Copies of this chain bind each other. A is one copy, B any other.
Amino acid sequence: MPVNRRIVLAERPQGMPTPETFRLEEGPVPTAGPDQVLLRTVWLSLDPYMRGRMSAAKSYAQPVEIGDVMVGGTVCEVVQSNAEGFAPGDLVLAQTGWQDYAAAGAKAVQKLDPGAFPPSLALGTLGMPGLTAYVGLLDIGEPRNGETVVVSAAAGAVGSVVGQIARIRGCRAVGIAGGKDKCDYVTGTLGFDACVDYKAPDFMQRLKEACPSGIDVYFDNVGGDVADACMALLNNFARVPVCGRIANYNDTELPPGPNRVPQLMGLVLTRRLKVQGFIVSDRWHRMADFHHDMGAWLRDGRIKYREDVVEGLEKAPEAFIGLLQGRNFGKLLVRVGPDRA
Oligomer copy total = 2
Q: How far is the CB of A282 from chain B (nearest CB, A)?
A: 7
Chain B residues closer than 8 Å to A272, beta-carbon distance: 60, 276-279, 282
- B60 adjacent to A265 (CB under 8 Å): no
CB of B262 within 8 A of CB of A261, answer no
Interface centre among A60, A265, A276 (most CB of B within 10 A): A265
Q: Is A127 on the interface with B (CB-CB < 8 A)?
A: no
Residues of B contacting A228 in the complex (Cβ-Cβ under 8 angstroms): 261
CB of A30 closer than 8 Å to a CB of B:
no
Is A144 an interface residue, CB under 8 A from the partner? no
Cα A254 to Cα B267 with chains together (Å): 14
A256 within 8 A of B: yes
| Docked-complex contact B282 and A277, CB < 8 angstroms | no
Q: Are B242 and A265 in contact (CB under 8 A)?
A: yes
Contact with B along A258-271 (1 / 0, CB 8 A): 11111111111111
Q: Which residue of B lies closest to A220 (CB)?
A: B265
How big is the A interface, by class? 35 or more
Given the known A-B contacts A259-B256, A259-B257, A272-B278, are A265 and B223 also in contact in the complex, defined by CB atoms under 8 Å? Answer: yes
Please state if A242 and B254 are interface contacts (CB–CB under 8 Å): no
Q: Which residues of B contact A269 (CB under 8 A)?
A: 242-245, 277-279
Given A60-B236, A254-B257, A256-B259, 18 new contacts (CB under 8 A): A242-B269, A243-B269, A245-B265, A245-B269, A247-B262, A253-B258, A255-B257, A255-B259, A257-B258, A257-B259, A260-B260, A261-B261, A261-B264, A265-B277, A267-B277, A272-B279, A274-B274, A274-B277
